[in-house]
Amino acid sequence: MNETMKTILNHRSIRKFKDQPLAEQEIEQLVHAAQMASTSSYIQAYSIIGVENKQTKAELATLAGNQPYVEQNGHFFVFCADLYRHTVAAEMEDLEITPAIESTEKFMVAVIDASLAAQNAAVAAESLGLGICYIGGLRNEIEKVSELLQLPEYVIPLFGMAVGVPDAETDQKPRLPLENVYYKETYPNEKQKVQQGLENYNETISAYYHDRTDGKRSDRWTEQMSNMLKTPRRMHMKDFVQGKGFMKS
Amino acid sequence: MNETMKTILNHRSIRKFKDQPLAEQEIEQLVHAAQMASTSSYIQAYSIIGVENKQTKAELATLAGNQPYVEQNGHFFVFCADLYRHTVAAEMEDLEITPAIESTEKFMVAVIDASLAAQNAAVAAESLGLGICYIGGLRNEIEKVSELLQLPEYVIPLFGMAVGVPDAETDQKPRLPLENVYYKETYPNEKQKVQQGLENYNETISAYYHDRTDGKRSDRWTEQMSNMLKTPRRMHMKDFVQGKGFMKS
């Protein structure tokens, strides 16, 4: 197996880092890697904020729900969907682009662009021996995160990424069986098939938790997901996103 | 530089493939790589449809705006945001999750999850000597693509990915200067700074087109973007996405 496949298949989220800041050159390598991801029609609809300031990191950690690794890491990135740059471009060209950038389509383009870039940075970081953890918790208090980073209209923080030298071993959680994620030709038209797959997966997951907790836990995946989803969270999102100018039509 | 960094930095979209289908094992490697990407709270909110059927591929190529490489490639993947699986999980657990999965937050989670998975597959493919091209054009006729692939509620096709053995050299287009994508601590609060960056980038891009067209083209990036965005496209997206159950609140 080649080194890249090994890196990708060996991924695990790291939540404890050594107190060792990334070198400027490493940060640039990661951003460069991010930028080389595909981008929809060359639009490059994202920005990356790099946070080193200790106070800002501490505030972000609190806003993300007291996650210590948001504060303690080698570097903290915030990936943002960004169409603000394009409003400046349009002003330079004296053209009107508001209806386009306020569309749901272009919101999706920006979210996808930013995510592809982020995953390149993640793989690049891991190839350099660093660990990473995505921080969706920034969306808990997305308005405050946005203010803290001084994001203008048409820019929203999607997620953070803590990067650094790993200081703890982490397990790799088993993913859904391939046949329950990858479908040939069409989506399975029988709910029974999907359910059967989830029942099989539940057994795998229960055994996984059982093994690593000496029998104290045996969660099913369907149980974890349903318990998480029974309480809607971050219901401020639509207002926030639209307030920033996105997804109006 | 390590092999993974080389692979990532060497990316270019491939739009001409040899008539050589991917082996089943290669397809599985790519899906496996996709699955190892980070996923928000283990939600794994995506599915991947693999299309080999020639007629389906031909129809997708037409729907995507007559892009021949959607039909002619080694394999064609469609990456979908998927929360349908979670409705089955919730039924198994007898819990109600509709308000959560119909939220804008969970729509974003699914789009991000699917995109991270896709980019892992892209990097994995390139590490194996294959080429890839993302196909956002599937969203031109997203309703018809969705019907063709028999996607149920809470599943939408986000983009395709053509994969195969490259049959043409492609240039690598210069990305935005790093300092116009990566900001330290906060977003620049002066529009002038963003504009200056775009003016510098315009010079790079104009020179790039000039060089490779013997002086016939000298597009500015701001010109390309503004011309693309002055006509809103895919304005059916919001209705479609909401019709599938997403982003209702």
B129 touches chain A (CB under 8 A): no
For B195, the closest of A88, A176, A233 (CB atoms) is A88
CA-CA-CA-CA dihedral for A138, A140, A142, A148, to nearest 10: -60
Mean pLDDT within A153-169 = 97
CB atoms within 10 A of CB B108: 28
For A24, name the nearest residue in chain B, comparing CA atoms only.
Answer: B184
pLDDT computed for residue B202 by the predictor: 98
Q: How far is B99 from chain A (nearest CA, A)?
A: 6
Q: Using the beta-carbon criterion (under 8 Å), do A183 and B151 form an inter-chain contact?
A: no
pLDDT computed for residue A169 by the predictor: 86
- Give A55-102 as a 3 state SS string: HHHHHHHHHCCCCHHHHCCCEEEEEEEECHHHHHHHHHHCCCCHHHHC
Ranges of residues in chain B whose predicted pLDDT is under 50: none
Tokens of B241: 């996405």
Segment B214-227, tens digit of pLDDT? 999 999 999 999 99
pLDDT computed for residue A228 by the predictor: 97
A58 touches chain B (CB under 8 A): no
Separation CA B89–CA B83 (nearest Å)? 10
Tokens of B164: 């195969």
Q: How far is B31 from chain A (nearest CA, A)?
A: 7
End-to-end CA, chain B: 46
Residues 142-201 on B with a CB inside 8 Å of A are 148-152, 155, 158-159, 172-173, 175-176, 178, 180-187, 189, 191, 194-195, 198-199
ipTM tops the 0.95 cut: yes
Separation CA A158–CA A151 (nearest Å)? 12
Residue B240 CB burial class (10 angstroms; 0-12, 13-18, ≥19)? middle
A24 touches chain B (CB under 8 A): no
Segment A84-119, tens digit of pLDDT? 999 999 999 999 999 999 999 999 999 999 999 999
Q: Using the beta-carbon criterion (under 8 Å), do A152 and B5 form an inter-chain contact?
A: no
Nearest to B15, CA basis, from B164, B206, B224, B138: B164
Separation CA A125–CA A80 (nearest Å)? 19
- Domains in chain A: ranges and CATH: 3-171+234-243 (3.40.109.10), 178-218 (no CATH)
Q: How far is A126 from chain B (nearest CA, A)?
A: 9
Q: Using the beta-carbon criterion (under 8 Å), do A56 and B185 form an inter-chain contact?
A: yes
Give chain A's largest Cα–Cα span. Answer: 66
